[in-house]
């Protein structure tokens, strides 16, 4: 098996749309592992020999559901994707062919229109992301390291990016399991849902690997807007509740204070690598000491 595609799903109204697009666009030998996270879709899932469905009795959250997919994956490469995405033919081979053992690969990201299930051409694509300085993205996220879209442009087809959005990533499975492993879903740390990009991304960069954007292919992700939440299609409950704020604050301290064991680089190394970083003050070290006191 070349690729294992993992799709955690909880109350996902567009899961079949995502499956249809994914199955049509895959070109390598692949298995698609759908984790129904304590939830049963209203309509039957697409019947395809490549689709493996894991049904969890109770809702464990995105991190726990992703871990169930990782346990079942048999491919040389693993891919995790949200259950509301559109793909382009051959994206899998393009990413795999360019993926070095210690790289995490991210394709170019477009916004998705539900109407017609197509790319929203009125909105710009995203290649790069950076980490916000704690507190810069609003107090409802605590003093956290949030991923922020960057509209930086250059002509490099494959390039470094400081972090990523989290709705799609692809990696060598052996390297991932040895150096990143199952996602931490303890209530004392990240909790069940948030900051997948931070745990995975920091373990790649500071552990000696890299995060790469490959602009030779793309996917489109449903950018959840206010009306999606107001209509009840999706919920913000995992992003801004008390547990999440606690986890956001813990994660920033954990990484900025270099508390993760077995890392090759310090957090400061990553900041220097991508400096200057938007909204990071020159005296960020002194400000962080004040936040952290």
Contacts for 35 with CB less than 8 Å, ≥ 6 apart: 6, 7, 8, 9, 54, 56, 65, 66, 68, 69
pLDDT, residue 230, reads 43
| pLDDT for position 131 | 96
Alpha-carbon span 267 to 257, nearest angstrom: 8
Residue 137 has a pLDDT of: 61
- The two beta strands, 3-9 and 77-81, are parallel
- Considering the entire predicted model, what is its pTM? 0.93
Tens digits of pLDDT across the chain (293 residues): 999 999 999 999 999 999 999 999 999 999 999 999 999 999 999 999 999 999 999 999 999 999 999 999 999 999 999 999 999 999 999 999 999 999 999 999 999 999 999 999 999 999 999 999 997 665 557 788 999 998 878 899 999 999 999 999 999 999 999 999 999 999 999 999 999 999 999 999 999 999 999 999 999 999 754 444 344 454 555 556 788 889 999 999 999 999 999 999 999 999 999 999 999 999 999 999 888 77
Judging by DSSP bridges, how do beta strands 85-87 and 30-37 pair with one another? unpaired
- Do 188 and 152 form a contact (C-beta atoms < 8 A)? no
The Cβ-side half-sphere exposure at 79, using a 13 Å CA radius, reads 27
Which positions ≥6 away from 145 have C-beta within 8 Å? Answer: 131, 132, 134, 195, 198, 251, 252, 255, 256
Q: What is the pLDDT at residue 138?
A: 57
| pLDDT for res 204 | 98
**What pLDDT score does 93 carry?**
98
Q: What is the pLDDT of residue 241?
A: 76
Give the pLDDT of residue 235.
Answer: 53
Domains of the chain with bracketed CATH: 3-292 (3.90.550.10)
Amino acid 232: pLDDT? 45
Task: Provide CB contacts within 8 A for 248, sequence distance 6+.
Answer: 141, 142, 143, 144, 194, 195
pLDDT at 229: 37
- The reported pLDDT for the residue numbered 228 is 44
Q: Do the beta carbons of residue 170 and residue 180 sit within 8 Å?
A: no
């Amino acid at each position: 098996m070349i690729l294992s595609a993992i799709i955690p799903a909880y109350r996902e109204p567009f899961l079949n749309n995502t499956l249809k697009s994914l199955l049509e666009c895959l070109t390598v030998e692949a298995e698609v592992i759908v984790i129904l996270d304590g939830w049963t879709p209203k309509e039957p899932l697409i019947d395809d020999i490549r689709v493996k469905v894991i049904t969890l009795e109770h809702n464990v959250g995105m991190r726990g559901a992703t871990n169930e997919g990782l346990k079942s994956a048999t491919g040389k490469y693993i891919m995790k994707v949200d259950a509301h995405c559109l793909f382009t033919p051959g994206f899998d081979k393009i990413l795999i062919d360019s993926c070095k053992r210690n790289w995490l690969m991210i394709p170019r990201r477009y916004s998705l229109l539900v109407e017609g299930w197509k790319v929203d051409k009125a909105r710009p694509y995203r290649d790069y992301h950076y980490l916000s300085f704690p507190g810069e993205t609003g107090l409802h996220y605590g003093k956290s390291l949030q991923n922020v879209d960057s509209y930086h442009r250059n002509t490099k087809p494959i390039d470094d990016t400081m972090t990523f959005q989290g709705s799609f990533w692809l990696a060598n499975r052996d390297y991932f399991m040895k150096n990143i492993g199952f996602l931490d879903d303890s209530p004392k740390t990240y909790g069940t849902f948030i900051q997948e990009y931070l745990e995975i991304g920091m373990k790649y960069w500071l552990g000696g690997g890299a995060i790469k954007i490959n602009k030779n292919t793309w996917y489109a992700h449903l950018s959840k807007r206010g009306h999606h939440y107001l209509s009840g299609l999706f919920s913000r409950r995992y992003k801004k509740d008390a547990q999440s704020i606690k986890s956001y604050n813990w994660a920033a301290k954990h990484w900025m204070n270099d508390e993760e064991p077995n890392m090759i680089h310090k957090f400061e190394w990553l900041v220097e690598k991508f400096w200057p970083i938007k909204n990071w003050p020159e005296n960020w070290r002194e400000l962080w000491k004040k936040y952290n006191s």
